[in-house]
Amino acid sequence: MRRKTPFDQFNKASYPTGFSIIAFLLRVVVGALMFLAGWVKVTTDWSAAGYLEHATGPFASWFQSLAGNVFVDQLNAWGLLLIGAALILGLLVRTASGLGIVLMLLYYFAAFESNIAHGYIDEHIVYAFVFALFIFGGFGHIWGLDSVIERHIPNKKKWMRALFG
């Protein structure tokens, strides 16, 4: 007999339809948040220079050296926009969420001293854990394009299946 896991207990105690709806809405809302943050940066003369010039913490000098770099500004703006679009569409959710974690950790460490002023947990850490939930929870399969695309991937291409989730 198979031993019950914590997930088995969670699955038994949850309401699958309600959970699916909330999981879908969480993915779309976080996606919209990222997309709109990116959209504002892409469509205006935005720069991360002011933010990066005032970086604090263990990597402050590295972040400060990036201030005013147009490539860094564009990478940040388009990264947010594309992560958001992927989450909204449910397309490459695992990949987008992995990149989202990297972005949130960069934001966290760039303003480290202000982020830990009230403890070590701030919104960037919370978002990073939400992205981790998207990665391990298969959130792209809840009314997302990942489930449609994955059906057409041959079983031999397991590395491709890992991208869609």
Taking only the tens place, the pLDDT of each residue in 78-111 is 999 999 999 999 999 999 999 999 999 999 999 8
Residue 116's SS3 state is: coil
Torsion angle in degrees (nearest 10) through CA of 157, 160, 164, 165 = 70
- pLDDT digit string, tens, across residues 110-147: 988 887 777 888 899 999 999 999 999 999 999 999 99
| Domain edges within the chain | 18-41+55-163
How much is the pLDDT for 151? 84
Q: What's the pLDDT band for 18 if we cut at 50, 70, 90?
A: very high
What does R_g of the chain's alpha carbons equal in angstroms?
18
- Residue bearing tokens 């990073």: 128
Task: Read off the pLDDT of residues 61-79 as tens digits, 9 standing for 90 and up.
Answer: 999 999 999 999 999 999 9
